[in-house]
Structure 1
Amino acid sequence: MSVSNLFKKSSQLFLDVIFPPYCVSCRTTGQWLCENCLNLISLVTNSFCQHCGTPLSTGHADRCQRCCTQPLKSIDGIRAAAHFEKNPIREAIHALKYENHRALPGILSQLLAEAYQRFGLKADTILPIPLHHLRHKERGYNQSELLARELGQKLGLPVNCRSLKRTRHTKVQVDLPAVERYQNVAEAFVCSDRELSDQRVLLIDDVCTTGATMDACAAALKLAGVKSVWGLALARASISS
């Protein structure tokens, strides 16, 4: 272990003694996401659209209505580890995204690693969904990048945070109806080099709703010669409109 890593670990242990970690869901002390709450997370295991990953009613066809009429054009497929509407995953993602809980990616990335194996995904390189530099400056970090780096360590795959860039400061997707989400992120990304040419890329995001952002990223990557692009989100949210 390097001196810097040893210092970070010692500092974290000291902080844990002074400010004991507490579960972001049930608030019991001991861990940032306790074992009981982890076991309550509703995993995506079956009954989902085979293209975009949207949860389907039991006995439904293998494609959702949206993919039958207006399918995502560039991404090869999307999967998600859990259902966003079911606590405690929603609270954990909120804490990661808005409360700077930097210890959570190490815990939550295990759900991504299990989903990667469960769905039989194959990748050569992992890429996080990039933030625009203004939003990154405002938040101080990219939660998708933190998840991607932890996942890369667990799977033994390289993580590329350089090649895919967000070139427009888009509106926050959660505030937009489904149709406007596609327009909001259209041509908002660019792949800056040919480093990923002929590779299988796995895109990582915290939450996926319509798949518009992942599809826009996939379009930019395929223009740069990427062989295939799959998306994997920590949680899948329902499309409300």
Structure 2
Amino acid sequence: MTSNRPAWLAALFRYGADLIFPPTCAGCGRAGALLCADCAQAVDPTPSTVCSHCGRLQFVAVPLCSLCARESDPPLMWTRAAALHTHPLREAIHRFKYRKQPELAEPLSRYLVANFQQPPWIDLPHSLDACVPTPLHPKRLLERGYNQAGLLAKAFAEKVNLAVEESWLARSRETASQATLSAEQRRHNIAGAFTAPPAVKGKHILVIDDVTTTGATLTACAYALRDAGATAVYGLALATPRLPGSKDPHQMAG
């Protein structure tokens, strides 16, 4: 059901709520902002040592990782993550997904925008037709109340003047949580879990996700879109874990 409440009235309600219950920083807990200036500045951007195709972090700068070097026809043109899944971004994403704080989409989307304004995005040979969030299964959506990737996509798209087409991708079956699965288990778990309509035929599409670890979810989304006729599919995630064995710089500083 769509609300008929005017935008100014909604803003007034939010202002009143903030006065009574001031927002606290998702990173450090200080009152005053959803993500304070110090924590916003402390978010670690993804290093430049990534595979030029899948965006996975590498210990040394190489054009392609070993997995992508073996791919003859990858479904994604390329994938990038805006920042590392370390403190304070890790805590902000946790609040965003699991603590009922959808309003964090606004400050978090700024990291997607910052990444999108750098290579390889600024060198795209064509215009993107739309961005599409990774969808939740209807049961998971009902439990959470919102799709965090959808909120991120909308906040991001508004800033970069892109359309959002949530109907271009659907999750056709429920899957187990990816969090504790190995790379191979993730690929098996998510394979074939998405469907796309004929409307995507001939389109250039950017898929938005919150966290990418092995790239399994973005890859499965891309396969569905390509199978439905999309010309090109790209992936952009908010965060990716640091390399195994590497240290969280904020823990080292502490």
Q: Give TM-score scaled by structure 2 length.
A: 0.88
Residue 221 of structure 2 corresponds to 217
Matched length: 236
Cα shift readout 1:92-130 (whole Å, capped 9, x = no counterpart):
100100011122111111110111111342422000000
Secondary structure of the corresponding residue to residue 199 of structure 2: coil
In 1, the alpha carbon distance for the partners of 2:47 and 2:131 equals: 22
Superposed CA RMSD in Å reads 1.7
Residue 104 of structure 1 corresponds to 104
Q: Give TM-score scaled by structure 1 length.
A: 0.93
CA contact (8 A) 1:209 1:239 kept: no
After TM superposition, the structure 1 = structure 2 runs for residues 1-150 of structure 1, keeping only pairs within 5 Å, are 3-58=5-60, 60-69=61-70, 73-84=74-85, 86-121=86-121, 122=124, 123-150=128-155
Could you tell me which amino acid in structure 1 is paired with residue 83 of structure 2?
Answer: A
Residue 196 of structure 1 corresponds to 200
Residue 181 of structure 2 corresponds to 176
* 1:155 corresponds to which of 156, 160, 173: 160
Cα shift readout 1:19-50 (whole Å, capped 9, x = no counterpart):
00110111111101001101101102411111
Which aligned runs of 4 or more in structure 1 are off by greater than 4 angstroms?
69-72
In 1, the alpha carbon distance for the partners of 2:74 and 2:23 equals: 43
Secondary structure of the corresponding residue to residue 119 of structure 1: coil
CA contact (8 A) 1:129 1:144 kept: yes
Cα shift readout 1:177-206 (whole Å, capped 9, x = no counterpart):
111110111111000x22222111000000
Could you tell me which amino acid in structure 2 is paired with residue 92 of structure 1?
Answer: A
Q: Give the CA deviation at 1:163.
A: 2.0
Secondary structure of the corresponding residue to residue 11 of structure 1: helix
Runs of 5+ unmatched residues, structure 1: none
In 2, the alpha carbon distance for the partners of 1:176 and 1:220 equals: 22
Q: Give the CA deviation at 1:61.
A: 1.7
Cα shift readout 1:121-150 (whole Å, capped 9, x = no counterpart):
242200000000010011111000000011
In 1, the alpha carbon distance for the partners of 2:174 and 2:243 equals: 23
Identical columns (%): 37
Runs of 5+ unmatched residues, structure 2: 245-254
In 1, the alpha carbon distance for the partners of 2:114 and 2:243 equals: 25
CA contact (8 A) 1:202 1:229 kept: yes
Q: Give the CA deviation at 1:223.
A: 1.2
